Amino acid sequence: MLVTIKKRLILSHILVFVVPILMTVVLFLMAAGGIWLFTQSGNHVYVESSTQFNRASEAVHHVVFRSLRSSGDDPEHYKWIIEMLSPEQSYVVLEKDGSRIYEYGNGHLASMMEAIPSDIRDRSFSRQKRDTYVHADTGRFYYLEKQYIHDSLYRLYFVSRQMPHGTDEAVEHATQGTLMAIFLAFFLVLAGTIFFLTRFVLRYILQALKLLQTGSDQVRQGNLTYRLTYGHDDEVKPVVDTFNIMTEELEQSLQERTRQEENRKELIASMSHDIRTPLTAIRAYVEGLADNIADTPERRRHYIEVIQKKTEDMNRMIDQLFLFSKIDLGEKALPLQSLELNEVISDIIEENKEGWQYRQALVVWTPSPEALPLLGNRELWQRIITNLVTNSIKYKTEEYVHIGIRSWKQENMVCLEVADDGPGVPEEALMRLAEPFYRTDKARSRTGDGSGLGLSIVARGVQLMKGIVTFLPVHPHGLCVHMELPSEGDVK
């Protein structure tokens, strides 16, 4: 049976409640046993002072009158307490409506009862109360109590004479022994309970805390591969599982940060290379103009046009790089808002179709018959569609490139595809198309045609809008960019 921490705590609380009760019962049984042994041994209680007489009379009073109320006049229910008194020293009489129903002790002490004033014995009192008389006089003690029980008047007489000191030595020894036994039993039970609770609850919790501390120390030292092993299925298990998930996510986060740092270094290196290419060309043409190599107006115009084109290439590259950085910043730089995809794509195509046609691109737009609401950014969509069409134009091998754009809804996802009939991409390169500055042309002979960030911006832009991008081959040739994004109501 699995004992969880909750069950252990409940059990410990039950023990805290039950153990004192059990101890009380044990003490009661021990006290009752001590009294029984005392009565069976033939010993009696001797009165040596008024204080002892008052205690004895109170004990007799409680037992006798409680028994009369609950069990009637039968002496078997109360005589045991009276018979503990010394029969030579004490004399007890119980009367009911003036008739004696019980008598115990030294009858020679009956004359002491007569010493109680008659006005005390016969005075009236309230039926709801009791009338008590207690008196001590030169070694003689007197006690009288009157009560009405079930419409009958009961009188309890208890008289005693003082005995020499030391006659109750047996009682004192018995009392001391009983108290020592009670104290020892109390100490043993209390010590056992504390030991059990400490071992049963605290040790169990401390083991779990020590396990978590060990794991925390490992993480603090940078060991993110450390995992906790816990064999119990209790309240600590979810904490251990959460700790392992946390360390795993921290490890992945660190790996991702390392990967991003490597990408950033590669990005800077690639950017330096790609910017150096047009800069070198610009410098060469500027030197040509300065050295008067372009010695005719036509050649000078050509040099200036080349410089202008290279400058535009650099400007376009910087724009792409700026957008790439904004995508890395996330929604802070490019906030998402409610959009309708068909409307956004239609506006983009309408704004750019003449320029695309001029560059020999024939775009066919097939929108979904139903609305496609999503969370997105117009600037991102403008750059995504423009980059895809520009990429198709840049790598076309025929006079015209045909580009198909279509949208549809699939369950709770919004889908968009942009496909062309260009030369396509080798299948082994499809997985790397989203990498910054990646080109299938290893010689990088066409770096002047673009920034190298176009498809990377497409992939990261769609990811920013909670979507995914897949690059697929088109048969017999061409490239298809498939995008899936959550519908607006399903964005998490």
Q: Mind listing the pLDDT tens digit for each residue in 390-404?
A: 999 998 989 999 999
pLDDT of residue 60: 92
Percent of the chain residues past pLDDT 70, beyond the cut:
86
Q: Is the peptide bond before 476 cis (omega within 30 degrees of 0)?
A: yes
Tokens of 181: 């036994």
How far apart, in whole angstroms, are the C-alpha atoms of residue 229 and residue 201? 20
Task: Give per-residue pLDDT as tens, 426-477.
Answer: 888 888 888 776 765 543 334 444 556 788 889 989 999 999 999 999 988 9
Coil, strand or helix at 6: helix
> What does each C-alpha distance from 410 to 80, 206, 406, 472, 485 come to in angstroms?
94, 53, 13, 18, 10
Of the given ranges (88-97, 99-108, 172-181, 208-217), which has the lowest mean pLDDT? 172-181
Identify the band that residue 490 occupies on the pLDDT scale cut at 50, 70 and 90: low
Task: List the chain domain ranges.
Answer: 49-63+85-164, 251-332, 334-492
Task: Give per-residue pLDDT as tens, 314-347.
Answer: 887 777 777 777 777 666 678 889 999 999 999 9
Tell me what the mean pLDDT of segment 185-205 comes to.
75
pLDDT of residue 446: 45
Contact call for residues 341 and 311 (beta carbons, < 8 A): no
Pick the CATH number of 251-332 from 3.40.50.300, 3.40.50.720, 1.10.3720.10, 1.10.287.130: 1.10.287.130
- State CA 25 to chain mean position distance: 41
CATH 3.30.565.10 is held by the domain 334-492 = yes
The answer to whether residue 172 scores a pLDDT higher than 60 is: no
pLDDT of residue 462: 94
The answer to whether residue 165 scores a pLDDT higher than 70 is: no
State phi, psi for 468 to the nearest 5 degrees. Answer: -130, 150
How far apart, in whole angstroms, are the C-alpha atoms of residue 243 and residue 236? 11
How far apart, in whole angstroms, are the C-alpha atoms of residue 139 and residue 141? 7
**The model's pTM:** 0.48
Contact call for residues 485 and 469 (beta carbons, < 8 A): no
The answer to whether residue 201 scores a pLDDT higher than 80 is: no
pLDDT of residue 492: 55
What is the pLDDT of the chain when averaged over all its residues? 84
Domains 251-332 and 334-492 in one fold = no
